[in-house]
Every structure is written in structure tokens, then in C-alpha cells.
């Protein structure tokens, strides 16, 4: 069993930056793909970014490429999402999740354990 705890969300202005963290406990996630998703009110949960177990490969949704960076520290069992140049349309609850497959995927159904999420609100 893995427990995930996201942190780092908040209320910021457009153009600001935030760094989200996802700390895992219960077992190591070092051998798994890790992903970040987000869900805005009345919208489906959508893929944001994923990272391979080694951290050597990353994968982003088009709208965040060049602004967001996913990274991981396997020694700390933690995954990060650095978000720069934030836009109001980035407003959502952000979740991290553990991948169940051996490759990065944008399908939420391919991820197992999920955190409770952290709210990110970007004002214009």
C-alpha cells in the first residue's frame, strides 16, 4: 500500500510560479512511473505530466510544455512539479499518482494509488 501526499498549492497571480511536491510513504515508488493530473470544477481529470522510474524520461500535455517541469528524488520517495508562468486556466486540484504500467501514459485508469490533491488557483 502506498500513501501519497501532495503539497505546495496555493493562490497566485498569473505569471507566478509554484512547486508542488508529492511525498510517498508505505513503500518505495522508485520503480514506478509517476504522474501528475489535475481536475477543474465540472471538468474531467486530465493528465499533466509523467516521469519514468529513473527520471530520465518525461511526458507532458501540450498546454504545459515549456512551463511545467516534472522531476523526482527517489531517495526521498518524492515527485515534484515545478510550474512557471502560471495561467488562470491552470486553476485546478492537482493530484499525483503511481503508474501501473511500465511506460508513461496519460490515461488516469493506468494509474493506481492517488493522493488527496492540492488546490492551485491562479488569478488573472
User: Going residue by residue through the chain (124 aa), what tens digit of pLDDT does each one get?
Assistant: 899 999 999 999 999 999 999 999 999 999 999 999 999 999 999 999 999 999 999 999 999 999 999 999 999 999 999 999 999 999 999 999 999 998 889 999 999 999 999 999 999 9
Distance of CA 20 to the CA centre of its chain: 7
Q: How far apart are CA 59 and CA 52, in angstroms?
A: 9
Tell me the C-alpha to C-alpha distance, in Å, between residue 13 and each of 55, 70, 90, 118. 30, 21, 11, 17
Q: How far apart are CA 44 and CA 61, in angstroms?
A: 15
At residue 7, the pLDDT reads: 98
At residue 4, the pLDDT reads: 97
At residue 103, the pLDDT reads: 85
Query: Cβ contacts of residue 82 below 8 Å, gap of 6+?
Result: 17, 19, 68, 69, 70, 71
Report the SS3 class of residue 8.
Answer: coil
Cell numbers for 6, please give them. Answer: 501532495
Burial of 122 (0-12, 13-18, 19+ CB in 10 A): buried
At residue 44, the pLDDT reads: 96
At residue 102, the pLDDT reads: 83
Amino acid at each position: 500500500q502506498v500513501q501519497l501526499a501532495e503539497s505546495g498549492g496555493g493562490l497566485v497571480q498569473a505569471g507566478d510560479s509554484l512547486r508542488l511536491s508529492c511525498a510517498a510513504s508505505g513503500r518505495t515508488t522508485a520503480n514506478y512511473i509517476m504522474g501528475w493530473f489535475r481536475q477543474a470544477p465540472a471538468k474531467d481529470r486530465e493528465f499533466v505530466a509523467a516521469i519514468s522510474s529513473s527520471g530520465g524520461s518525461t511526458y507532458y500535455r501540450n498546454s504545459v510544455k515549456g512551463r511545467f517541469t516534472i522531476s523526482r528524488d527517489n531517495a526521498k520517495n518524492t515527485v515534484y512539479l515545478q510550474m512557471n508562468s502560471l495561467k488562470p486556466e491552470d486553476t485546478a486540484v492537482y493530484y499525483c499518482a503511481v503508474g501501473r504500467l511500465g511506460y508513461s501514459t496519460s490515461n488516469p485508469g493506468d494509474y493506481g494509488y492517488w493522493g488527496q490533491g492540492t488546490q492551485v488557483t491562479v488569478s488573472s
